[in-house]
Amino acid sequence: MSERDLKDKAQRHPEKAHKPDTPILRKPKWIRVKAPTSQGYKDTRDILKNNSLATVCEEASCPNVGECWSLGHATMMIMGEICTRGCSFCNIATGRPDALDPFEPARVAVAVEKLGLKHVVITSVDRDDLEDGGAEHIAMTIRAIRRKIPETTIEVLTPDFLKCGPEALETVVEARPDVFNHNLETVPGLYPTVRPGARYFHSLRLLQRVKELDPMMFTKSGIMVGLGEDRQGVMQVMDDMRAADVDFLTIGQYLQPTPKHHVVERFVEPEEFESYEKAAFGKGFLMVSATPLTRSSYHAGDDFAQLRAARQARG
């Protein structure tokens, strides 16, 4: 990444921030984590570095990176480190991406094998510069992992393919990931400030379409709280997801990466997360993860095992 891109990532664009002059709130005790220092963390870092792979763990400043990498768990971020979107919550650099690397899928498969992953999460930046939004590259990565480690289950966290035809989504589904994940991120009323380049109902329809293409494929989506939404809005998103037959819901606390990003309006207390989880199970989700530190790929392998068990229990 160029010096200019690194500066962009650190400073972002002031016009994207909700309240650019508002200082970052002090994190409450329930959301603080220790700095990563374990040997497992270092080993994971070295495997990723040696295979020239980016991770959303680093690029999006995930608070769980120390815990996950110490266990050898990492979420691969393919198609480069520069996104064509400018979401106000995200710490990934925005700009003009480089060309796709045709050897990346194979390198991802090698890293998955070396890490010994039984379940892997593959995500990506948005690539609105590509005709298919990167769908074929995602499918190639799924196929490369299947060839090298067929027993590993695969979860993809995809872009919304907003500027692509329907064949983009079909390409990914035809590659048969075990879990198709696409995050709604927030309530629809906050999209203009939080996800200005996305459309809520398009993302919702994307998830619904996955089930139409493959009714047995698990679907997953998540939102952040603390951005300024209210409880009624969160409940409406749950209902919308269930109407689209989404199986798995994640809810986590939004953390402001820099003062230039959308502010944290409040830190949601653990008891409120528990109430969201209870409500979501009541609405029919097979699996729910709702905690302050929940992220899309946090404990993804264990959650996938519970997801399959929940489906089997329901018959």
Evaluate whether residue 30 is within a structural domain: no
What CATH number does the domain containing 168 carry?
Answer: 3.20.20.70
- Residue 188 inside a domain? The answer is yes
Mean pLDDT of 25-32: 75
Residue 21 lies in a domain: no
Domain range spanning residue 166? 3-15+35-314
Find the radius of gyration of the CA atoms of the chain: 18
In a domain, 69, yes or no: yes
Give start and end residues of each alpha helix (H) in the chain. 3-11, 39-50, 56-59, 65-70, 104-115, 135-148, 166-174, 191-194, 200-213, 231-243, 270-282, 300-314
Domain count, the chain: 1
Euclidean distance between CA atoms 263 and 208, whole angstroms: 31
Instruction: Confirm whether 48 is domain-assigned.
Output: yes
Strands 54-55 and 76-78: antiparallel
In a domain, 24, yes or no: no
Confidence of residue 98 (pLDDT cuts 50, 70, 90): very high
Q: What is the pTM of this model?
A: 0.84
Confirm whether 269 is domain-assigned.
Answer: yes
Q: Which has more confidence, 211 or 72? A: 211
Say which range, 31-35, 152-156, 300-304, has the weakest mean pLDDT: 31-35
Tens digit of pLDDT for each residue in 231-287?
999 999 999 999 999 999 999 999 888 888 999 999 999 999 999 999 999 999 999
| The predicted structure's pLDDT at residue 296 | 75
The verdict on residue 173 lying in a domain is yes
Q: What's the whole-number mean pLDDT along residues 13-18?
A: 41
